[in-house]
Structure 1
Amino acid sequence: MARAQHITGTAERLARNDQKVVLGAVAFVVLLSGLYTVLGVGMDMTAVEMTRMARPIGEPMAMGAGAPWTLGYAVLIFLMWWVMMIAMMTPSAAPVLLLFTAIKKAGSAPGKAPLLSMLFLSGYLLAWAFFSAIATALQWWLETTGLSNGPMMSLSSRALGGAVLLAAGAYQFTPYKHACLTHCRLPVQFLTAHKRTGLDGAILIGAHHGTYCLGCCWALMLLLFAGGIMNLYWIAGLALFVLAEKTFPHPRLFASAAGTLLLAAGSYVLITAF
C-alpha cells in the first residue's frame, strides 16, 4: 500500500512538472543525437577526425575513392543527416515545444501533455527527415559526378563552394525566408492559428511547424556541403546561428547582416577559385 502511494505521488509530481519532463526529454534527444554525430557511427572516420583533417572550402585533398553507394550506405548517410539535423535543430524548437506543452496542460486532458509534446516534436523532426532524404540524394549526385570528396564529404570545387555561399546569402533577403522566420519566432501566433486536437493532430502541427523551420533554414544547412558535412565547427556554428536567428531581437536586420556576410564570403571564394 505504501509503495503504491509512493508511485502515485511520484507520478503526480511529474505531472505537475510537465515542462521540466519535456525539456529533459529534449535534452536527452539532443545529447544522444550529438554523440551519434560526433562519433560518426557507421562512418570510416569520426566527426572529430574529419574536422581535424578539414581544409578550406573546395581545396582538393587526396583521400582515395569513397564508399560505393549501395542501398545500405544510402540509408546510413540518410541517418547521418537526420540525426545531425535532430542535434542541430531541436534546441531552436524548444520554445514552441514548451509553449505547446503549457497549452495542452491547460486543456481538457492535462495528463497527456508530455505525450502530445513528444508527438509534436516527432512531427517537427519528420520535416527534417524529408530534408535529410533530399540532402542524401544531393550528396550521392555530387559524389558520383566528382564534385564532392567522398571520404571527407566536402565539395571538391572551390567555385561550387563559393556558389553555395552566394546562394545561401541571397536567400537571407527573400520574402520566403522572412515569412518562415516570422512563423518560427512567434510560436504563440503559430499555435493559435493552427489548432489541432488528438494524437495525430499533435504530429501534424509539429510537422507544420517543422515545414516553416525547414523553409527558414534549408539554405543554411546546405552550407555543410561547402564546409564539410561532418565538420564539427560548421555544425556547431550553424546550430548556434539558427538559435540566435530565432531568438535575438531585430530578426530582419540579423538575417540581412548574415546574408551580407555570406555574399561577401561567397564572392571572395568564387574570385579566388580562378
Structure 2
Amino acid sequence: MGHVSATGRCEMSGRSIDVPVSQWAFFGVSALLFAVSAAVTIVDAASMSAMGEMPMPGGWAMSTAWMRMCGQTWPGVAASFLGMWIVMMVAMMLPSLVPMLWRYRQAVSGTDEARLGWLTVLVGSGYFFVWTAFGMVAFPLGVALAALEMELPALARAVPLAVGVVVLITGALQFTAWKARRLACCRETPGRCLLVPAARALPADAATAWRHGLRLGLHCSYCCAGLTMVLLVAGVMDLRVMAVVTAAITVERLAPRGERAARVIGAGIVAGGALLIARAVGLG
C-alpha cells in the first residue's frame, strides 16, 4: 500500500514517485464537479417528476419541461430549462471530456500551474458554451412541437411511432462512416482529425484555449448528435435515459476499441427503436 505526501510525492512499496500536485488537483476538481452536477441533475429530475406529466392521445405523457405552468413566464421557463440543461450536460459529458482536457494540459508548455488551471477552465467553458447553444435551440423547438401536439390530437397519436422511428434511425447512425470519423476526432485517433497537434505545442493564451474548447464542443456535438436525439425524444429529464446515454457516450469515447463499442451501442439502440415501433403499432 502507499500514501501521498503533502508535497505530492506518492510513496509505495518503499519507492517514491513524484506526482505533480496539479494532477491531483485537476482530477479532484473534475470529480467534485461531476458529483455536484450529477446530484443537482437528480434533484431537478425528481422535482420535474413530482410535477407530473400531461396524458396525451396515443397513450403517452408529455413532460412539463416543454410547458409553462401557472404563474410562470416564458422567459422564466426558458431560463429554468437552460439551467437544468447546462447542469445535465456537465454531468453527462464531463466523464468523456476529462481525458480531452488532460491532453490539452499536456499540449500547453511554458506556463505556470495557476495559469494552466485558468486556461483549462476556459477550454471547458468553450466546450459547454457549445452545448448551451444547443439547448437554446432545442428549447423553442421542443415548445413549438409540444404546442402542436396539444392542438392536433392526430399528431399526438403519431408521437409514439415517430419516437420509435427516430430512435431506430439514430441507432443506425452508429454504424456509418460519418460516425466513425466524428468519433475518431473526439478520441483523437492518430491520423484522424487530431485536435491537439502531434508536436504537443499549443500557445498558452486565453484566445487559443477558448477556441480549442469550442472545437472540442463542436466535434463532440457532432459525434453525440444521435445519442442526444435519443435523450430528447425518449425523455429529456428521465434519469434512466440520461444514465444510459451518459454510459453510451463515455464507453464509445474511452473504450479501447471505440468504433466497435459504438456499433454495439448502435445495435442496442436499433433494437430499442424496433421495440418502440412494435408497441406503437400494437404488435408489442
**TM-score for both structures, normalised by structure 1:** 0.79
The amino acid across from 2:79 in the alignment is V
2:77 is matched with 73
The answer as to 2:191 corresponding to 1:190 is no
Which has the higher relative contact order, 1 or 2, with Cα contacts under 8 A spaced 6 or more apart? 1
Distance 2:189 2:203 in 1: 15
Distance 1:271 1:235 in 2: 23
2:223 is matched with 216
The amino acid across from 1:190 in the alignment is L
- Asked if structure 1 preserves the Cα contact closer than 8 Å seen for 2:183 and 2:259, the reply is no
Identity within the alignment, %? 25
1:93 is matched with 97
Find the partner of 2:137 among 134, 137, 140: 134
1:164 is matched with 166
Find the partner of 2:235 among 216, 223, 228: 228
Distance 1:253 1:147 in 2: 41
Distance 2:23 2:250 in 1: 20
Q: Tell me the CA shift for residue 78 of structure 1.
A: 1.7
Distance 1:67 1:156, change over 3 A: farther
Distance 2:77 2:209 in 1: 32
1:21 is matched with 25
Find the partner of 1:249 among 240, 256, 267: 256
The amino acid across from 2:271 in the alignment is A
Distance 1:21 1:62, change over 3 A: closer
Q: Tell me the CA shift for residue 156 of structure 1.
A: 8.1
Distance 1:63 1:86 in 2: 21
- Asked if structure 1 preserves the Cα contact closer than 8 Å seen for 2:53 and 2:62, the reply is no
1:46 is matched with 47
Compare the two structures and name the one with the higher strand fraction. 2
Distance 1:54 1:96 in 2: 40
- Asked if structure 2 preserves the Cα contact closer than 8 Å seen for 1:127 and 1:210, the reply is yes
Distance 1:241 1:158 in 2: 23
- Asked if structure 1 preserves the Cα contact closer than 8 Å seen for 2:67 and 2:143, the reply is no
Find the partner of 1:260 among 233, 248, 267: 267
Distance 1:130 1:267 in 2: 31
- Tell me the number of residue pairs that the alignment of Structure 1 and Structure 2 aligns: 251
Distance 1:130 1:63 in 2: 21
- Asked if structure 1 preserves the Cα contact closer than 8 Å seen for 2:93 and 2:246, the reply is yes
- Asked if structure 1 preserves the Cα contact closer than 8 Å seen for 2:179 and 2:223, the reply is yes
Q: Tell me the CA shift for residue 90 of structure 1.
A: 1.0
Q: Aligned Cα RMSD in Å?
A: 3.4
- Asked if structure 2 preserves the Cα contact closer than 8 Å seen for 1:95 and 1:187, the reply is no
2:15 is matched with none
Q: Tell me the CA shift for residue 67 of structure 1.
A: 2.0
Distance 1:195 1:167, change over 3 A: farther
Please identify, of 242-251 and 25-34, the stretch whose mean Cα deviation from structure 2 is larger.
25-34
Distance 1:117 1:214 in 2: 19
The amino acid across from 1:158 in the alignment is P
Distance 1:218 1:20 in 2: 32
Distance 1:200 1:102 in 2: 18
- Asked if structure 1 preserves the Cα contact closer than 8 Å seen for 2:235 and 2:241, the reply is yes
Distance 2:49 2:95 in 1: 22
2:213 is matched with 206
Q: Deviations over 1:204-251 (max 9, x none)?
A: 101101111111112201212333211111111111111111111222
Distance 1:196 1:144 in 2: 48
Q: Tell me the CA shift for residue 260 of structure 1.
A: 2.4
2:86 is matched with 82
